Amino acid sequence: MAKAAVAGVRGMNDVLPDETPLWEWFEARVADWLRSYGYRQIRTPVVEHTEVFVKGIGEVTDIVEKEMYSFEDRLNGEQLTLRPEFTAGVVRAAIEHNLTYEAPRRLWSIGPVFRHERPQRGRYRQFHQVNVEALGFAGPDVDAEMIVMLARLWRILELPGLRLELNCLGQADERAAHRADLIDYLRRHETSLDADARRRLHSNPLRILDTKNPALQALVAAAPHISAYLGADSRRHFEAVQSLLAAAGIGFAINSRLVRGLDYYNLTVFEWISGDLGSQGTVCGGGRYDPLIERLGGRPTPAIGFALGVERLVDLLRAAGAVEVAAGCDVYVLHQGGGTQARAFVVAEQLRDAGLDVILHAGEASLKSQMKKADASGAEYAVIIGEAELADGTAAVKSLRAGASTRAFAQQTAVALDRLADSLVEALAATEPELR
Ligand code: HAM
């Protein structure tokens, strides 16, 4: 009896070879964009001590309460967690290596993160973030710069139509006063709350403002909002961010119910949302987190950051169809007959020395079947070495692109081996860019 095939883990995706060119295109643009704003990459482990996230993100958050992949190291009993976000780990590393000791730092990361959520389109259990942190900056100029740089990214990626929502969460004492009044208000309406809201009433009442339950919308709209509790400094900070954005021509909406799902935020928080992704439309979320570095044991240091959801952005890029990514190589080398394989090995290496991307046919097969593989590879040119070519020191070159009768090697042509690399480099340079 055949064994049942093994399967991937639910909510964790394979990115297949046909999709990786789009990911690589995205990643290359993101790396250039971050460099142009002075950000440098930091790579932290996928696994941290669980307490990094419990202390950092906050005990009473969905992530820490129910979404973390945590386990005990069988060998030494340490409590470990697969990162559900980057920020806490990056801050842990910055403290451990004194990164903010002498000067502020602009840092970015990319990689997988893990949350045990219910999978649906745009929501996965392993997903990828581009994470960006500015450590040691009190703002509000850096708050605005982060948003301006995101607006530039949408232009680079040609993704118009993303909407920006902003809020100011004030400082801890302002939130405490708001929270007390909010609990008071919600308690007076306790019978109208759903089970989830009732559970959060005392633990995390701010998250009730974020509820998706249609039956609670009116109640939540009439609840006390943080904006009424902001002191003069918080209000000045928020106004400065807004006027810098207005000066930069960036449109936004203030959403006083935007609280974010992580506990470390203060002052500015923001999200960029697409209307084309269904219920999981937020492609970027972030904000200021001045209390976090001290909370994780560092010296008090202001900071702000955001993360992009890579799957959601790749989904938008795919749907926009604007990105033509060539997946093929330059040359496919075929060989047939005694001694030709060894020559083909040498020729393929010489072409690579000249900077070409080359696939060398592996194994033995008829020329016809090798030609099919060459076509399917996406290569621009086939280089054929048969016994006749072996004998007279040439290779036969043939364009693999149909309908290109004006291109070099539209007809199969013999080329002396010592001219082969140069001829192919010239032919490729002359190829119309939209085909490459
Ligand atoms: P976050 O809002 O939890 O923020 O996640 C950032 C982005 O990751 C979201 O806007 C979304 O695009 C994507 N995302 C979140 N969960 C999923 C999921 N289950 N499947 C697919 N994509 C998802 C943070 O993680 C903060 N650490 C951001 C930050 C950095 N704040 C300050 N610095």
Mutate to test the pocket of ligand 1, among 262, 265, 268 (most ligand atoms within 8 A of CB): 262
* CATH 3.90.1150.10 for the 331-435 domain, yes or no: no
| CATH superfamily assigned to domain 20-171+231-320 | Bira Bifunctional Protein; Domain 2 (3.30.930.10)
Ligand 1 atom closest to the Cα of residue 86 is 27
Residue 325's pLDDT is: 66
Cα 297 to middle of ligand 1, angstroms: 24
Ligand 1 atom closest to the Cα of residue 282 is 10
Q: Where are the domains of the chain?
A: 20-171+231-320, 331-435
Cα 262 to middle of ligand 1, angstroms: 10
For residue 131, with 0-12 CB atoms within 10 Å meaning exposed, 13-18 middle and 19 or more buried, which class applies?
Answer: buried
Q: What 3-state class would DSSP assign to 309?
A: strand
Which amino acid residue places its CA nearest to atom 10 of ligand 1? 284
Mutate to test the pocket of ligand 1, among 9, 82, 85 (most ligand atoms within 8 A of CB): 85
Which amino acid residue places its CA nearest to atom 14 of ligand 1? 309
Domain 20-171+231-320 identical in fold to domain 331-435: no
Cα 258 to middle of ligand 1, angstroms: 14
Mutate to test the pocket of ligand 1, among 115, 129, 260 (most ligand atoms within 8 A of CB): 129
Query: What does the radius of gyration of the chain's CA atoms come to, in whole angstroms?
Result: 28
Name the nearest CA neighbour of 59 among 204, 206, 226, 260: 204
Residue 436's pLDDT is: 41
Q: Is residue 88 within 8 Å of 297, Cβ to Cβ?
A: no
- Looking at this protein, which amino acid is placed at residue 38? G
Residue holding tokens 């072409």? 351
| H or E segment and range at residue 415 | strand 413-416
Per residue in 385-416, is it b (16+ CB within 10 Å) or e — as a string? bbeebbeeebbbbbbbbeeeeebbbeeeeebe
* Tens of each residue's pLDDT in the chain, 436 residues: 667 889 999 999 999 988 999 999 999 999 999 999 999 999 999 999 999 999 999 888 889 989 999 999 999 999 999 999 999 999 999 999 999 877 789 999 999 999 999 999 999 999 999 999 999 999 899 999 999 999 999 999 999 999 999 999 999 999 999 989 999 999 999 888 888 888 888 878 888 887 888 988 898 989 998 999 999 999 999 999 999 999 999 999 999 888 888 889 999 999 999 998 888 899 999 999 999 999 999 999 999 999 999 999 999 999 988 666 666 789 999 999 989 999 999 999 999 999 999 999 999 999 999 999 999 998 999 999 999 999 999 999 999 986 656 678 888 999 999 999 999 999 998 875 544 4
Q: What 3-state class would DSSP assign to 247?
A: helix
The number of beta carbons lying within 10 Å of the beta carbon of residue 197 is 21
Q: Is residue 84 within 8 Å of 63, Cβ to Cβ?
A: yes
DSSP 376: H
Residue 278's pLDDT is: 86
Cα 85 to middle of ligand 1, angstroms: 7
Residue 1's pLDDT is: 60
Which amino acid residue places its CA nearest to atom 13 of ligand 1? 309
Name the token pair of 100. Answer: 């903010």
Give residues (CB < 6 A) around ligand 1.
Answer: 85-87, 115, 117, 122-124, 127, 129, 131, 133, 261-262, 282-287, 289, 305-307, 309, 311-312
Residue 15's pLDDT is: 96
